[in-house]
Amino acid sequence: MMVDVVEGRVWCFGDNVDTDQIIPAEYLVTGDARKLGEHVFERVRPGFRSEVKAGDVLVAGENFGCGSSREHAPRALIGVGVSAVVAKSFARIFYRNSINIGLPVVECDVEASEGDLVLVDFREGRITNKSTGREYSIAPMPDFIRRLVEAGGLVSYVKKQL
């Protein structure tokens, strides 16, 4: 998956979205991203799974991904087709787990409404809310992180190097 640019419809989330909200604990019996994606946000946003489309982008507040250190949470987001998560801040372990399994994440305080169309340019360091015309600067994604994400995560990257 190329991560220079992603473009998708916005799903808005607030502060302190924890990993139990992203994927409830009883579904942690599999590592299969698609199976996990079938239950993403099912307790806090019923209907999300049936409405989210491949390529959509989550825009959230502070401390996204707090709680348990499970990598199942970013894996479930990948399984449902989320192309990136933009948040004011991330729980440190969620951020690293996301990179390790190939989910692009970026910290930025983006003003967006549900359904807006956003473009995230990781190489140029810019987020554009195409619905409002507002632009935001972000740090460009470092090449080594881009390589990890493009490979599908750390394990896939290492396997390709062997």
Tens of pLDDT, residue by residue over 146-160, are 888 888 889 999 998
Residues in the chain where the model's pLDDT stays below 70? 1-2
Tokens at residue 88, please?
């004011």
The domains of the chain, with CATH numbers, are 5-161 (3.20.19.10)
Beta-sheet strand order (sheet of 126-129): 105-107, 84-87, 57-60, 5-12, 117-121, 126-129, 135-137
CA distance 35 to 30: 7
Give me the torsion for CA of 61, 155, 157, 152, rounded to 10°: -50
pLDDT at position 2, please? 60
User: In this predicted structure, what is the pLDDT of residue 115?
Assistant: 97
Q: What is the pLDDT of residue 140?
A: 86
Tally of CB atoms within 10 A around 159? 10
pLDDT value at residue 141: 85
pLDDT at 1: 54
